[in-house]
Structure 1
Amino acid sequence: MQSAEISRISERHWHALDDDQVVGRGEVWRRPDGRSFLSIDAWHGAVFDRLAGAMLPTLPKPLYTVVDEADLDLITQWEQFGFGPRRREWELVVPAGPSSVPSPGVSIRSAEDEPLRELDLLIREEIETTVGWHNMPAEVFPVHDPARYRVAVADGRYVGLVRVVPLPRRPRIGLIAVRAGYRRRGIGRALLADVLGAAFRAGQESVSAEVNQSNAAALALFEGFGARRESSNLELVLR
């Protein structure tokens, strides 16, 4: 595979070809916070090396990637090209259940497009001025499909949201967030309980979520509903 030919087939995609067969793929995508993340899917270590060697010189730094912490071989491959650990995210599994958590003066309901987008922008601004959006999970994207959201409403306005991706094996929570002025009122717990109850009624046994290991409040929220840590991912960076 040392002779694999590397082709950049678009601005974001590379292919490795051997005897006209695709034996590896590389991709780069830009997150809402402006950071560029890489992925390389290669059949052999030599193909990974050729893809990385072709991609990295063409891309501005810093560059990021996310790796299963148990995949030591893949971590070593990235480290050989100068990537190093930046942070760890726990993969949590939370049991579904019929529970509901009331929050006085707050209702949980389906989302409507315009007020949801307004809430999303406000929450992003608050996060950016505090912990920084770069500390949010790599999978968090701008609002595209209101059907994937449940929102908390108080004082006639949207004050919290939870985004759920309906994956076949188990639903995945992509983000749960509450406006700064409405925290410590049980709204996050009410949103999470709503998701767990919906999953239970749909016959699902659990939902999953990723939480930064340094986010003690989020870990406490999920573990309060019986979450267990199934695995962990490392975010690596090349500066």
Structure 2
Amino acid sequence: MDSVHYTPAERAVVITRVAELHWHALEDDRVVGRGEASPRPDGRIFLSIDAWHDVVFERLAEAMLPALPRPLYTVVDEEDVELTSQWRRAGFATRRREWEYLVPTDPRTTGLGAVLPPPGVTIVPVGEADDGLLRELDRVIRDEVEATVGWQEMPAEVVPRPDGVTVLDPSKYAAAVEAGHYVGYVRLAQVIRQPRIGLIAVRDGVRRRGIARALLAEALGSLHRNGTGTASAEVNEANGAALALFDRVGARRAGSNLELVVR
């Protein structure tokens, strides 16, 4: 356990590394700030700092950054200007932006009520996908993504796991089938009290045929039939196709998150 003492004019702060990836800031034996480093399965390390005062945040960052391998990442709500500024003062810069969408589920609003999959493709409803075929497709799509943009470009919640198990609950998926093979899927996730469109993915070679749109129609339709009026989704600002897909169904941008990095 390492401790570093700081004495700003208005307070004395002690930064203590209480575990390998955890730090505490103490003032008069009270915890006034916490810092944590969280390794992701894709190898990246994300930081979080919860501090009562700017000076405590700065002291925690000063203690944590030299003790950890670069690059280091964090995610902030772009509307939280104060927190974003604190990370920028610590040397972090914007790596990417993810738009937070609120997506209506009513087909009369989305225009998806009459949407059909392309010829030769059928949609397996949410909760009816075959476990084995779904996992096989998941491995293929993840290999395709890793061979191109890499999983560092995927949302933070969509990461490979060390044991290779990535489909944790097949009942949350709908799938697209062509010639007996799964070629795309959509995943629903329950985040707090609102469902989230966690991921829409279609295999290379069969994209731009309307499969993603048909999968989205199934996912939103299933939520609407269950009485859910709105879902959420996060879309990378650089993913023009996904942005266009959600904009076309009447989704509303409700905010944005920034992924910051220091190298």
Query: With structure 2 as the length reference, what TM-score do the two structures score?
Result: 0.82
Secondary structure of 2:194's counterpart equals coil
Residue-by-residue CA offset, 1:61-110 (whole Å, 9 max, x unaligned): 01111111111111111111111111111111111124363213222233
1:140 alignment partner AA: V
Residue-by-residue CA offset, 1:148-202 (whole Å, 9 max, x unaligned): 3222222212211222211343211221111112212211111111121122122
Residue-by-residue CA offset, 1:105-127 (whole Å, 9 max, x unaligned): 22223334433332222111211
Q: Rg: which structure is higher?
A: 2
- Tell me the CA shift for residue 2 of structure 1: 4.7
Q: Is the 8 A contact 1:97 1:197 kept in 2?
A: yes
Q: Of residues 100, 106, 111 in structure 1, which corresponds to 2:122?
A: 106
Specify the alignment match of 1:127 in structure 2: 145
Distance in 2 between residues matched to 1:4 and 1:150, nearest whole Å: 52
Distance in 2 between residues matched to 1:206 and 1:4, nearest whole Å: 45
> Quick check: 1:154 aligned with 2:178?
yes
1:24-103 paired onto structure 2 within 5 Å: 24-98=33-107, 99=113, 101-103=115-117
Which moved further from structure 2: 181-190 or 147-156?
A: 147-156
Which moved further from structure 2: 117-126 or 79-88?
A: 117-126
Specify the alignment match of 1:23 in structure 2: 32
Residue-by-residue CA offset, 1:7-43 (whole Å, 9 max, x unaligned): 4344433333444543332222233432221121222
Counting matched residue pairs gives 239
Q: Is the 8 A contact 2:77 2:257 kept in 1?
A: yes
Distance in 1 between residues matched to 2:59 and 2:89, nearest whole Å: 12
Q: Is the 8 A contact 1:12 1:29 kept in 2?
A: yes
> Quick check: 1:175 aligned with 2:199?
yes
Secondary structure of 1:180's counterpart equals coil
Specify the alignment match of 2:190 in structure 1: 166
Task: Give the 3 Å change call, closer, same or farther, for CA 224–21 of structure 1 in structure 2.
Answer: same
Unpaired runs of 5+ residues, structure 1, are none
Which moved further from structure 2: 158-167 or 18-27?
A: 18-27
Q: Is the 8 A contact 1:165 1:173 kept in 2?
A: yes
Distance in 2 between residues matched to 1:20 and 1:199, nearest whole Å: 50
Query: With structure 1 as the length reference, what TM-score do the two structures score?
Result: 0.90
Distance in 1 between residues matched to 2:68 and 2:133, nearest whole Å: 37
Secondary structure of 1:38's counterpart equals strand
> Quick check: 1:212 aligned with 2:236?
yes
Task: Give the 3 Å change call, closer, same or farther, for CA 112–8 of structure 1 in structure 2.
Answer: farther
Task: Give the 3 Å change call, closer, same or farther, for CA 193–53 of structure 1 in structure 2.
Answer: same
- RMSD across aligned positions (CA): 2.1
Distance in 1 between residues matched to 2:21 and 2:105, nearest whole Å: 38
Distance in 1 between residues matched to 2:262 and 2:14, nearest whole Å: 24
1:151 alignment partner AA: A
